[in-house]
Amino acid sequence: MSVDWSTLSDGDLAALSIAGRQPAFAEILRRHRTAVFRIARAWTGDADEALDIVQETFVAAHRALARYDGGRAMPAWLSTIALNKCRDWARRRAVRRFLSFGLDHDGQAEAIPDPAAAIDDRAADRQELDRVTRMIATLPDTLKTPLILHGIEGLPQAEVAAMLGISAKAVETRIHRARAALAEKLRTPQGDGDARA
């Protein structure tokens, strides 16, 4: 008898995946990969980097399924893993940038390609979406994370507060500051200004 994986809860899918049923984890991936991608894309500002982070997130999630609490919402659990992978990405990028500057003895300005370079999008709305995504990626982590989790992923402020270990009021304040900083960046012609944390 075939199983309709789409009818099972995330907790059931996790339990079946732990028991070795690969289609169960494939269903978890199918359900949640778009949300994880949105988090990673908003964090990095780059679709290709975001795809790598999605892959890393689900590899880590698969390895950690035995520690997943079935009573916890799967999207929140995966968002936490994704944010950790985004932070790892940012650290690796900072190290690469530091090493590239350290090795550049010729003084060439092109030592580090800009990972947020514009993608060749044809539609104007797609270009604007990419611009906004890149601007979100430049916000400080303390502002970017609550904005992504609440504003993009739609998680309740109380859940975001629990994930980040801060009060719901702090989440609300950070989201307000993130939106204000983002609006200021988007008012500039190139949107290159630094966020005021």
What pLDDT sits at residue 104? Answer: 43
* pTM of model > 0.85: no
Higher pLDDT, 94 or 85: 85
- Does residue 110 have a pLDDT over 70? no
What pLDDT sits at residue 112? Answer: 38
**How confident is the prediction for the chain on average, in pLDDT?**
80
- Does residue 20 have a pLDDT over 80? yes
- How confident is residue 120, by pLDDT bands cut at 50, 70 and 90? very low
- How confident is residue 193, by pLDDT bands cut at 50, 70 and 90? very low
Higher pLDDT, 159 or 125: 159
DSSP string, 78-104: HHHHHHHHHHHHHHHHHHHHHHHHHH-
Q: Give CA–CA dist 194/139, Å, rounded.
A: 8
Check whether domain 118-197 has CATH 1.10.10.10, yes or no: yes
Domain with CATH 1.10.1740.10 in the chain: 1-87
**Comparing C-alpha atoms, which of 9, 85, 98, 13 is closest to residue 53?**
85
92: Cβ–Cβ under 8 A, 6 or more apart, which residues? none
Give percent above pLDDT 90 in the chain. Answer: 40
What pLDDT sits at residue 79? Answer: 93
Lowest mean pLDDT among 24-38, 63-77, 94-108, 111-125: 111-125
What pLDDT sits at residue 92? Answer: 78
- Does residue 126 have a pLDDT over 50? yes
Q: For the structural domain made of 1-87, what CATH number should be given?
A: 1.10.1740.10
- How confident is residue 131, by pLDDT bands cut at 50, 70 and 90? confident
What pLDDT sits at residue 122? Answer: 39
How many H-runs (helices) and E-runs (strands) does the chain carry?
A: 8, 0
Give percent above pLDDT 70 in the chain. Answer: 77
Q: Give CA–CA dist 129/20, Å, rounded.
A: 40
Is-contact 41 83, C-beta < 8 A?
no
- Does residue 124 have a pLDDT over 70? no
Record the tokens describing residue 186, joined without a space.
């988007």
